[in-house]
């Protein structure tokens, strides 16, 4: 543990480069260290932490705290499936909030107690740009950031490649910071045969907290070709799977969706696990279409 203590006292838990092949010894080490360190705040990747929550349940362990404790989620899109598994283990007295951030910029926004995402307008000048113009509320738009008062590494109109929708609604929490919905990275959207697109967030809304799924990954492999792979649990039924597949076919406007239960899904080379990826969105011409600035 000493070797992973930062100078501000933060403990960095051990993590394996490919989540689902994490050796049992390392899983137990991470769970033991949470108990020993007894944190009041955990800052986690949601897919990684949902995996640990499942392992806790399997081994009959209980959380080190179920009250007066906070979990912040970041790094990748927090799927409803991951969130459900974490809250099932930790209970509803543990505050859970999704953070919007980028490693090169820091905290861009945060989820409020009313469950809405607000942008950080204290440290950044925020723009939502579509086709070179400011986006209207509700439109898909790219987040463009200018840092305020950052003399070490200032960014001016930095096109983030992240897609958002701005909301015109005031939030019931009372914050006046802009309310947004982070839709995902432009390189991870699903392009449909009619030229429209479905964002990773929209896909996740469709799948929902799905009791029968532990983890999923949608992969657009080619034009009008999709592969949905998932890890199922004891709550799986053929009916639930058929229902989801029908919804996916309607939303993606195609029958070309393979749907397979797996026992293993690989993390990407950087160790992250992305719930929605698209080789079509990586193409140069598609990236230009999304490059709205």
For residue 170, state whether it binds Zn ion (rule: CB under 5 A).
Answer: no
Q: Which is nearer to Zn ion, 60 or 174 (CB)?
A: 174
Q: Which is nearer to Zn ion, 175 or 251 (CB)?
A: 175
For residue 112, state whether it binds Zn ion (rule: CB under 5 A).
Answer: yes
The Cα–Cα gap between 142 and 162 comes to 6
β 257-261/225-232 pair status = parallel
For residue 97, state whether it binds Zn ion (rule: CB under 5 A).
Answer: no
- In this chain, which stretch among 84-92, 115-123, 212-220, 223-231 interacts with Zn ion, using CB under 5 A? 115-123
Helix 80-90 to helix 46-58 angle, to the nearest 10 degrees? 40
- Within 13 Å, how many C-alpha atoms sit on residue 19's CB side? 22
For residue 116, state whether it binds Zn ion (rule: CB under 5 A).
Answer: yes
Among 263, 197, 191, which Cα is nearest to 222's? 191
For residue 267, state whether it binds Zn ion (rule: CB under 5 A).
Answer: no
For residue 11, state whether it binds Zn ion (rule: CB under 5 A).
Answer: no
For residue 20, state whether it binds Zn ion (rule: CB under 5 A).
Answer: no
**CB of residue 120 vs Zn ion: minimum separation in angstroms?**
13
- In this chain, which stretch among 45-53, 121-129, 168-176, 214-222 interacts with Zn ion, using CB under 5 A? 168-176
- Cα distances (Å, whole numbers) of residue 266 to 21, 46, 257, 258, 274: 9, 16, 20, 18, 10
The answer to whether 229 touches 198, Cβ cutoff 8 Å, is no
Contact residue for Zn ion among 171, 180, 231, 265 (CB under 5 A): 171
| Interacting residues toward Zn ion by CB under 5 A | 112, 114, 116, 171, 173, 175
């Amino acid at each position: 543990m000493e070797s992973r203590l930062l100078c501000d006292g933060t403990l960095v838990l051990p993590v394996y480069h490919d989540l689902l092949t994490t050796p049992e010894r390392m899983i137990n080490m991470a769970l033991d260290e949470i108990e020993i360190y007894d944190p009041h705040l955990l800052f986690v990747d949601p897919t990684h932490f949902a995996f640990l929550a499942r392992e806790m349940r399997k081994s009959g362990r209980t959380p080190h705290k179920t009250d007066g404790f906070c979990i912040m989620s970041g790094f990748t899109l927090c799927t409803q499936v991951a969130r459900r598994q974490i809250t099932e283990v930790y209970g509803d007295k543990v505050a859970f909030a999704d953070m919007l951030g980028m490693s090169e910029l820091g905290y861009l926004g945060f989820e409020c107690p009313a469950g809405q995402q607000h942008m950080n307008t204290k440290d950044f000048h925020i723009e939502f740009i579509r086709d070179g113009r400011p986006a209207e509320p509700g439109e898909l738009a790219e987040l463009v950031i200018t840092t305020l008062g950052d003399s070490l590494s200032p960014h001016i109109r930095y096109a983030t490649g992240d897609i958002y929708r701005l909301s015109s609604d005031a939030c019931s929490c009372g914050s006046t910071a802009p309310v947004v919905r982070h839709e995902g990275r432009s390189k991870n959207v699903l392009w449909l045969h009619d030229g429209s697109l479905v964002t990773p967030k929209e896909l996740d809304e469709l799948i929902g907290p799905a009791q029968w799924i532990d983890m999923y990954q949608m992969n657009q492999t080619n034009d009008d070709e999709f592969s949905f792979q998932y890890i199922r649990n004891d709550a799986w039924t053929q009916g639930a799977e058929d229902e989801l597949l029908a919804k996916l076919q309607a939303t993606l406007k195609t029958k070309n969706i393979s749907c397979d239960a797996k026992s293993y899904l690989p993390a990407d080379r950087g160790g992250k696990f992305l719930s929605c990826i698209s080789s079509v969105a990586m193409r140069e011409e598609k990236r230009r279409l999304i490059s709205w600035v």
